[in-house]
Amino acid sequence: MRKIIVGLKRVIDYNVRVRVRPDGSGVETDGVKMSINPFDEIALEEALRIKEQGKADEIIVLSIGASESQQQLRTGLAMGADRAVLIETSENLDPLSITKVFQKIISQENPNLVILGKQAIDNDNNQTGQMLAALLEWPQATFASKISLNDTKAEVIREVDAGLETIEINLPAIITVDLRLNEPRYVKLPDIMKAKKKPLDVIAFGDLDITPNDAIKILNTEPPEQRQKGIMVDNVPALIKELENKGLI
């Protein structure tokens, strides 16, 4: 069976203004709307389109986090995924530990393709896809803005600093997606009801025999400095003078 695994991360909704906790221990999440990471939602939409083209038989969505992440997995199932797996943990895992979890599940499921968002909007690490390709020794294509598949290869158009780059990789492979790849579909109420009957497996992180990497620790979280109020100037010489005063020219 041709399988695609898609990673879904639970993050604060991109429309919500993030607030730092008074003690600096992180950002406030109580009572805050949570959603699927936007890049991951695009990854799932692409997997669904591949399946609709008859080039995949099953789509599995995978998340790592607290039990509340089941909500985002159910949304993924409502979008059209066939199965969901939650690796349940209360720990804030670093990218390498997350990558090892994906490696373990991939070794069990043997997918033809793994599609991930290029990064999560909460920490912007942009590391998991590249690390996963290295651990699996699979080809990778990052920052994908267009994907074309056949039985053995994938042609991927990548967004790079100089413009667009087209590469061809063998399958199985890791692909991370960019914003311009597609527009995710809206979830309809009948699909939400159907998703409740689809399988969602919950596996404790401790059962995977993976030791979390503690090389990275967040010591403190601070909000950005408040923007200073702008000033109006009457002419170009006055503008130049103000820029000189600020040491900008």
Give 211's pLDDT tier (boundaries 50, 70, 90): confident
Q: Which pLDDT belongs to residue 65?
A: 93
Average model confidence (pLDDT) across the chain: 92
Q: 38-71 pLDDT, tens per residue?
A: 999 999 999 999 999 999 999 999 999 999 999 9
Three-state secondary structure call for residue 206: helix
Whether residue 19 is predicted with pLDDT greater than 90 in this model: the reply is: no
> Is domain 3-221 given the CATH code 3.40.50.620 in the classification?
yes
What is the predicted pLDDT for the residue at 86?
A: 97
pLDDT at 1: 61
Report, as an integer, the average pLDDT of 64-82: 95
Q: Which of 26-40, 152-166, 181-195, 214-228 has the lowest average pLDDT?
A: 214-228
- Residues 185-204, mean pLDDT to the nearest whole number: 93
Rounded Cα–Cα distance for residues 210 and 208 (Å): 6
- By percentage, how much of the chain surpasses pLDDT 70? 100
Is the pLDDT score of 187 beyond 70? yes
Span 121-145, mean pLDDT?
94
pTM for the full predicted model: 0.87
pLDDT digits (tens, 9 = 90+) for 85-128: 999 998 888 899 999 999 999 999 999 999 999 999 988 889 99
Residue that has been written with the tokens 């936007």 in this structure: 38
Q: Compute the average pLDDT of residues 17-44.
A: 90
Task: Name the residue among 143, 201, 95, 151 with its Cα closest to residue 103.
Answer: 95
Give yes or no for residue 151 having a pLDDT over 70. Answer: yes
Q: Minimal CA–CA distance to 102: which of 243, 5, 241?
A: 5
What pLDDT band is residue 171 in, cutting at 50, 70 and 90?
very high
DSSP character at residue 205:
G
Query: Tell me, what's the pLDDT at 214?
Result: 75
Buried residues in 158-169 as b, exposed as e (16+ CB within 10 A): bbeeeeeeeeeb
